[in-house]
Structure 1
């Protein structure tokens, strides 16, 4: 046992040192072989063989060990990650070479509870035949995985179950370690220094602030324009509601139900005719008001100047073109005709390409439906196989549950015998604890009495200090000071003056500033008048240019409309025909597959639970 334990510890130690981002497996094995020269040849060969196998099949081992930590090994330490990798490698790749007896010795040399958990998880038939097989098949081929790894593990599964039950018995019989009584913490008093008496701070002078100006009423009132807008909005809303109510009432009058005593409706030839439902009355025709397009659009200054500059550039460009034509420049009519032909050809190609994209999307949709149908058929086969496996496992679980119930009955009988002896010891311990509690209560009562006396003395000292402070505050103080506004302070500063002189000078300064503001205001008004006249001239030019541009746009629209009516549907090219043929084939195959899927397959009979 100690020999195998030492070998496995050596493998785990070297495996923890391996870093796949920095080290290569070949160089790492060479360094390990040089460091293991002190061991025997047999031990060295075993360690190197297991270590090289773990590095070679590390992807397969990490799949199993990560899943174990997620499902059953949540309470296991991550330091045992390499241990579980080594056990998984030995069980998967070396179990036939080592033999079952040697494998049992290796397992028993490790912690029994960890080995029992991992073997129960790894050799579970549901895990082996489902997700472990699927995950390993993503790395290697399915046939290779099933033939070389899954089938041998399933053959060894009954013997491994016996080993797991043996480990569980060993864990049940293993005596538990005696629990040591925890040391009780003894509290100690803090060694604090006495605080110094706090000094009384000098009170600060309360600053006298100037009386603020009242808030103007216009702050809390809406402007007149906004008030007018709100009044018009409410009036329009009330008018619209009245019109809507009137229209609803007219619609309700249209549907008048026939009374019970009313006779059948007869036509001009005195033949009875049945009347189904309410009579429909005609309503007057609704009048729809056309929007007025002549309402001018209000533009700001920037928009007017921008549009005027744009039309000015267009006029200059047109004049340059006329001058060039007068000088003998060529005409662009031939180029424009060639451009129109090429644009028509491009439109046809775009229509054909759009049709091809649409058909390709339809073809991919059909292929996706076929793939989904194949997947459903495979899933049905897998589900039937799972049902058979679960039936067998349910039968095995029922047998195992009967065995566990028998063992639990035996344990209950043993526990009842031990509880009789425990009750006598509990009564003795209860008496001792009651005595200790009485002593603690008396000590706490004395401490509480001392603390209340100290608190009363501290409260009395505070009351005396507060009475002294209030007596100091009640002493009279002189507030206020006489000020002469015409007197110069006499600080010796340059330009020193009294408050009255300062007020007169400030009044003169404000008067001069008011005159300057009036002059600037007059200049600004004159500039605005000149600018508004310029803008008015620009707006007139813009209206003329817009009318001309509108007439030319209408002519171009008529030409474009005449061109759009002429060409017909895009011609069918070879790509479109080929895609349509493939779509028809896929659709026929999909219908056949759907007909096969609708045939109900016979279900396997489920075994009755015991």
Structure 2
């Protein structure tokens, strides 16, 4: 991985040099880099782009260090190594935690030990002095101390060890003596044998044209089979549903009557439920939908049927306990519920006329606001009409001026075209000569290609004939005579050795025994299913009975609610203030309608007189008119909201 980091840093140095020399935009540089770095991995490409974009983003911060380093060591450095120092400074400051010390050491060794040692010594010796002061001038002091100076000081001991290692390698390299230069020894001149002439390259055989690809419809199954399969699946589901309904309703005729005691208990339970729920019937949502035509209200599974039966059993037990308590002398809250219903009825009779009055007053105020808005819009229309006429005159003058300029330009174009006619004729002659030469050359090349193609086709035809003869020889049948007796054994003298006929008979007997066992098991399972089905049908009958009783109670509550609502509507209709407000609202509506009719009669002649003057500026003027009218309407609504007593 360290070698990959070294190569990635070198790629980043090249990209940074391109950015400095070309002075292009950062986005263009990144697009070109993505094209050049398509061969490497996505993580490596991201590392290179992050390093280059980071050096460009923190250019001011890095230039503080690099410019001072060049100013101090300008005699020993070259300008071509500036990008190396910038990237090393960025890696130390921002990416040292991500790289690690080992990868950073390999990068420094690859870029030159002596140069990097001098730069690191310069950077860490001046970090807490003037470099920190310069960075504080660019960014906030607390931010610089927390994010850059603090992490660098934590890495300082490890960097010192690395710098000592680099100094040791530099000193070892300087102490090593140079090896003595070897002198060249003269040798006798030997003549070599001439190379044989190479064989001439064979001529290229012209390739045949590619065959047309096989269409996709050859490998794709037809849609008709899929459609038929879907239809079969739907029909199968429908048949299963019908079978389930038939099984559920097959024993409906055997419904025994309940005893007299049971019927009296059920009637008592229904009355008690009605007395409990009638006080809140005004807000009820009505009875549930009647699904008696389908035989059963909902398709229930076994667990749901058992839960529903247990629920109804608990309700019946609770009602029986309540009846027992009443018989023993307990009190029933029917008087309190009656008083509660009367109070609710009285409150509704008082509230409904008040809400009707408020609603009518709000509608009357809306009509008055609409009339006031119409008057303001009429004044605005007159002002807009004057503005339209002025703009139409200005547009007409501008159109005449544009026509005059176009006429002058057309004359100039005609003069220039006449001057270019002669040059066009010469160009046409040269073009015709070129076309004739190209045509002759193409005809000769086509003849040569045709001859080569005919020769290759003849060779292929001969090969196909040979292959066809080989296939016909291989396809000839080989006659083999086999004599086999099913009743004889193989003769291996093994215990329980059987012939083929005996083996088939024994297998047939085993299959028959297995089939009989499966049929017995299936009949046993079917009998168990029938027993469970009978039990579930009885439970469904009890559930259906309870459901009908609840639906009947809900229907009674709905009728009572409807009667109460009719009574309240009659009370509201007899209120005198409500009737007076309704008459006033009708008058305002009629006045508004008359205003609309007068406006429509005025608008028709105005449209006929101004249609020919403002035809070419219709869209622009219409948008201006709508914007001005919307602004006026908004201002009028604000005035009405601030002072509502003025209109009333």
**Both proteins in one fold, TM over 0.5:** no
Which structure has more RCO (C-alpha within 8 Å, separation ≥ 6)?
2
TM-score range, shorter chain: 0.3 to 0.5
Q: Where is the helix percentage greater, Structure 1 or Structure 2?
A: 2
